[in-house]
Chains A and B, each alone.
Chain A
Amino acid sequence: MLLLTLLLRSVGFYFFTSSIQNPESNNSYTAKLEQLKTIGRELAMGSQGGFGQSKEFLDLVKSIGEARSKSEEDRIVLHEIETLKRRINEPDIPKRKMKEYIIRLVYIEMLGHDASFGYIHAVKMTHDDSLLLKRTGYLAVTLFLNEDHDLIILIVNTIQKDLKSDNFLVVCAALNACCKLINEETIPAVIQQVVELLGHQKEAVRKKAVMALHSFHQRSPSSVNHLISNFRKKLSDNDPGVMGATLCPLYDLIAIDVNPYKDLVASFVNILKQVAERRLPKSYDYHQTPAPFIQIKLLKIMALLGSGDKKSSEQMYTVIGDIMRKSDTASNIGNAILFECVCCISSIQPSPKLLETAADAIAKFLKSDSHNLKYMGIDALGRLIRINPDIAEQHQLAVIDCLEDPDDTLKRKTFELLYKMTKSSNVEVIVDRMIDYMISINDSHYKTETASRCVELAEQFAPSNHWFIQTMNKVFQHAGDLVNPKVAHNLMRLIAEGFGEDDDAADSQLRSSAVESYLKIVDDPKLPSAFLQVICWVLGEYGTADGKYSASYISGKLCDVAEAHSSDDIIRAYAVTALMKVYCFEKSAGRKTSLLPECQLLLEELSASHSSDLQQRAYEFRAILDLDANAVENIMPLDASCEDIEIDKSLSFLDNYVHKSLEQGAEPYIPENERSGTLNISNIINRNPYEHPAHSLRFEAYEVPKLVVPTKLSPAVTYPTELVPVPEPSYQPTVSSGPVSDAGSGSGSTELRLRLDGVQKKWGKPAYSSAASSSTSNIDSQRTTVNGATQPDNVTSKSREPRQPHVEVSEEKQKLAASLFGGRTARPERKQSGSAAGHSKVSRTTNHGEDKAQPTTVTTAVQPPPPDLLDLGESSGAASSYSSTVDPFKQLEGLLDLSQDGHAVTTTTGPDLMSLYSGASTNGQNQNQNLNPLLNEKDNMNGAPNPSNRTASLTKGPSLKDALDKDALVRQMGVNPTSQNPNLFSDLLG
């Protein structure tokens, strides 16, 4: 409908202009004029309804669209910024104009330029009375400002006012802004109103109020804690939209602490059941699936609630099984639900039957051709092998295919899976693969992650010292600068301490193999700094320990390092200290020691270094050179890096000295915080009697000041001109009334003075803080008993027959599979940290509040009845347009080709435009319905040649008519469709 009128307009436009150019040639001029007026009206409507901006703005958008390079685009935008800067500050800009400027600012900002000069105007626009302008203002500020921006304080007042508005659209706009703009400091200013809006008659307002409270909770949980019961109440709201929105905050709350919500398990199960049974209105269906987004959210919540809780889990089994059975595996959304079910099953107390279904679902995912489903399958597999490690075996070939897939995302996900299933039998293969992959990628974030995973796995499962050292060398060589410095320190510690076994022989073997491998690679000029530090340290500490290498050889290498990296002070520091160690060990061993000439040179150079650290090290070294062997051995004992150094923090060895000084009349030392004059800042903060974080700003309006006439004054008294009684603008009776009566009774005379006592308190603490403190205790009392951290036991499932690999599978792959999946033996060797990572979800949810676990059960304060969705009202019957039987995703696949076809048609049929629509002017009255294009289904397209296109709005292809429509419209605006970007004209949905 809309399109038809659009097209009409454009045709009219051409017609219109041509007739203006030569009006004489027109026989029935007046009749035409009437027609022109109609068309003109349409034009006017079109210019507002369609692209309601001025020519100038359209030109801007157009020129940016045509810009061929980023620099050209930047130039245009900078020019626009200049123009706007000038214009926007002109006095008396009409509001409509201003609105457009604001939208232009949004556009500039969207393109990544700074529009901050106009922020204040956007803020001003939110103050406007007209909803249209207000909405634009709110849109702009939510896009411009982050929650910590200074201007927010100017909007809070408007938001407060708008939340009280009678027009629910204004309230909605204000709530939208709340979600983005209200920060921790301003939450108290609006929270009361938002809570009241939870009971608003419009469901849209209730929904947004819930979401606003949710965003407050994310920003500052303490400010909303006393309102959590509201979320529970809203769960039984009779609008499914509100109920669905409530699931978001509840999910967050349950993720933080499960226990207060255990009582809701039955409700959630009940809701999920009803949703799955299609009890919700039809309009919540999405591609024939009943309210899938609500289902997914509920499954997520149930995964949290059922984790490690047998009783809760048992309540869920049936409904999850039902949903899995019903889910439509042909559609994407069905698979999304299926995946969420698998996640839920792997999180809750395992049920053998469900595990089997989950395994089947995973098998389907992995066998699918779609990369998306393969990805999800790998993800799901990673979750399920925590419970049943045998599952991986039947999918080994699929996993290896994914590992070798050209798709990087899939590859990474598979590496994640391998990381989860690493054990000592397959660690070598996995880590080698991971390292190869790590070397091949450039993304520093992921490189870091892979590197640290390699390190972690190598530390946990290393089969031999030699392998471990080699692996670490590779990791450090290729990603040394990216890994956390801690990893380097860990490595040093590991080499020093060994793997924890009390086997000195193994330890020294580890060290000498490290030294050996380091000496081999130390000359590589491109080693990362962190790795060189490790090398220097190890060479210094253990280079000469096994007597294989002479001290002078090691020293020579160390000097080379220091020389080659003369710009890196840290490496030089490591090197010089290592040199010192080598020297000391030699000397204390009683061997003849002499410093190499290059070492001497280095020392001299460092003594004059700009870095005081290097200088100090050099001077220390020089001082040691002059000491005898005995002293040296005390300073640098051999292999003592693991010995604890005791630090006497109280400096008791100085006691004698201090005592002596005091006796000689020195002043005693006063600790810094006891010295007079310097107040401890933390004391001041602690003096704050309120629990509430320092909310020093007040947002409620002051009450209207009432004139306080001193009671005992006789009316006859004339005030001295310079002493006027200060009227007390009492904003709060408790504060203001006290001083007033005091002053009145206390003075008891006609004595006049400036009353300042009451005034000063005006800036005191706000009163709302008390509510928060009482509520926190309330929450504590709601907490029911914590059931201990019962981890899901490893269910020993029936051992399945490992699938026979296909014949055509290459031998190499099979070998890889065998090395990855074979050898079930050593599984439980996985050490603590590994299992902790695997079970992180479980432990996160169960560890909470263990400290608070009280054996006495406190019954929960609020227990809403299980929400009944039965009375939600029946379907509103408008779903016909969605009852497409074709999967739209399938249709979208050929989208590119289709769109090009559509375009080809567009350009060739250009001349036919007039003939096509010459008789269409009768449809002119339809433009009135334009106002509400959404309510009119597209089926209303009267006389559309292709009605089948219309009936199912989701499945239509690029219709010729639509394309023509758009084409004509943009021609009218001067955008040339034959320019570089013809794709602009193809429908997004195909």
Chain B
Amino acid sequence: MIHFVLLISRQGKVRLTKWYSPYSQKERSKVIRELSGTILSRGPKLCNFVEWRGLKVVYKRYASLYFCMCINQEDNELEILEIIHHYVEILDRYFGSVCELDLIFNFHKAYYILDEVLIAGELQESSKKTVARLVATQDSLVEAAKEEANSISNIIAQATK
């Protein structure tokens, strides 16, 4: 089971956190501080796993962003690495060449997508296509709702003011 998912930038800034096991706000900050210290200081050639408080943290670096997942002792680390990659690929499809900036400004979308990939700390869908389809359906509904709410001329008027 995955206990939490963390996205940390190389500067140690938090980009996304999702907690599947109960942690209090205080514990969360502590976990993030501890882990970002350990993970960011690791060299590039070392293995992508860190043993931590009897659990294991699997991390992978994409550009300047670290994706970390915390798992149980008996879980398969290589599999988790691929789950991370699976998630990144889906993000990439969604945002189109996803970069850190996409996640910074659209963290809520990253959450929605994560919710379709992982649920209750388990991988729920291993087909990228299925995830993409679901997220797209949700988005199309959202867009429809938005178009109703906004008249375009309004915006033009505002812009030309």
A interface with B by C-beta (< 8 Å) = 1-3, 16, 20, 36-37, 40-41, 43-44, 48-53, 58, 61, 64-65, 73, 96, 103, 106-107, 109-112, 114, 130-132, 135-136, 139, 142-143, 146-148, 169, 172, 176, 179-180, 203-204, 207-208, 211-212, 214-215, 218, 240-241, 244-245, 248, 281, 283-284, 286, 291-294, 296, 300, 332-333, 335-336, 339-340, 343, 370-372, 374-376, 406-410, 412-413, 445-446, 449, 876, 878, 882, 888, 892, 895-896, 899, 931-935, 938, 953-954, 956, 958-959, 962, 966, 970, 975, 981, 983-990
Contact = CB atoms under 8 A, between A and B. Distances in A.
Given A933-B96, A989-B92, A981 B104 contact: no
A111 B12 CA distance: 11
B88 A988 contact: yes
A372 B126 contact: no
Interface of B: 9-11, 13-14, 16-18, 20, 22-25, 28-29, 32, 43, 45-54, 62-65, 76-79, 81-83, 85-86, 88-89, 91-101, 104-108, 111-112, 115, 119-120, 122-130, 132-143, 145-146, 149-150, 152, 155-156, 159-160
B75 to A, nearest CB: 9
B148 to A, nearest CB: 10
Of A16, A336, A896, most buried by chain B (CB within 10 Å of CB) is: A336
Q: Which 8 A-B pairs have the closest CB atoms?
A: A983-B64, A336-B78, A371-B47, A988-B62, A283-B129, A179-B120, A962-B97, A215-B120
B99 A985 contact: yes
A371 B120 contact: no
A934 B101 contact: no
A61 B77 CA distance: 33
Contact of A286 (B53, B65, B126): B126
Contacts of B111: 106, 139, 143
B119 A179 contact: yes
Contacts of A132: 141-142, 145-146
A934 B99 contact: no
Contacts of A241: 124-127, 130
Given A132-B142, A283-B128, A984 B76 contact: no
A878 B130 CA distance: 11
A284 B86 CA distance: 11
Given A61-B104, A65-B104, A179-B119, A3 B97 contact: yes
Contact of B65 (A44, A50, A53, A988): A988
25 contacts: A2-B95, A36-B156, A40-B155, A44-B156, A48-B146, A51-B106, A110-B14, A131-B141, A172-B134, A204-B130, A244-B123, A244-B125, A248-B122, A292-B82, A333-B82, A371-B45, A375-B49, A375-B77, A446-B51, A899-B64, A934-B94, A970-B101, A983-B9, A988-B62, A988-B65
B96 A895 contact: no
B77 A934 contact: no
B138 A130 contact: no
Contacts of B77: 372, 375-376
Contacts of B156: 36-37, 40-41, 44
Nearest to B103: A988
Given A37-B156, A40-B156, A332 B82 contact: yes
A932 B63 contact: no
B6 to A, nearest CB: 10
B47 A291 contact: no
Contact of A147 (B22, B82, B85, B139): B22
B33 to A, nearest CB: 9
A370 B145 CA distance: 50
Of B24, B93, B107, most buried by chain A (CB within 10 Å of CB) is: B93
Contacts of A169: 137-138, 141
Contacts of A343: 76
A215 B93 CA distance: 29
Contact of B149 (A96, A110, A375, A990): A96
Given A43-B159, A207-B125, A107 B79 contact: no
Given A40-B159, A148-B22, 8 more contacts: A2-B96, A245-B122, A375-B77, A445-B52, A956-B97, A985-B101, A989-B62, A989-B97
Given A44-B150, A934-B133, A372 B93 contact: no
Contact of B99 (A44, A449, A966): A966
Contacts, number: 287
Contacts of A58: 105
Task: Provide the main secondary structure of the chain A interface.
Answer: helix
A335 B86 CA distance: 16
Given A58-B105, A143-B111, A986 B99 contact: yes
A30 to B, nearest CB: 13
A135 B143 CA distance: 13
A405 to B, nearest CB: 9
A187 to B, nearest CB: 14
A283 B127 CA distance: 6
B126 A293 contact: yes
Contacts of B138: 131, 135, 169
Of B123, B127, B134, most buried by chain A (CB within 10 Å of CB) is: B127
A409 B126 contact: no
Contacts of A292: 79, 82, 126
A77 to B, nearest CB: 11
Contacts of B145: 130-132
Contacts of B141: 131-132, 169
A602 B94 CA distance: 75
A103 B135 CA distance: 18
Nearest to B10: A983
B134 A204 contact: yes
Nearest to A841: B74
A78 to B, nearest CB: 15
B155 A43 contact: yes
A53 B104 CA distance: 12
A241 B134 CA distance: 13
A412 B51 contact: yes
A966 B136 contact: no
B125 to A, nearest CB: 5
Given A286-B82, A412-B51, A932-B139, A135 B112 contact: yes
B113 to A, nearest CB: 10
B150 A180 contact: no
A169 B152 CA distance: 27
B107 A107 contact: yes
A852 to B, nearest CB: 26
A572 to B, nearest CB: 34
Contacts of A109: 25
A215 B118 CA distance: 13
Contacts of B115: 139, 142, 176
B62 to A, nearest CB: 4
Contacts of B9: 981, 983
Given A40-B159, A876-B129, A933-B94, A409 B49 contact: yes
A989 B88 contact: yes
A893 to B, nearest CB: 9
B78 A335 contact: yes
A962 B51 contact: no
Contacts of A1: 96
A135 B142 CA distance: 10
Contacts of B104: 61, 65, 984
A3 B95 CA distance: 9
Nearest to A64: B13
A634 B85 CA distance: 73
Given A61-B104, A981-B64, A407 B96 contact: no
B64 A986 contact: yes
Nearest to A176: B115
Contacts of B24: 146
A818 to B, nearest CB: 27
B32 A932 contact: no
Contacts of A293: 79, 82-83, 123, 126
A64 B9 CA distance: 13
Contacts of B143: 48-49, 931
A969 to B, nearest CB: 8
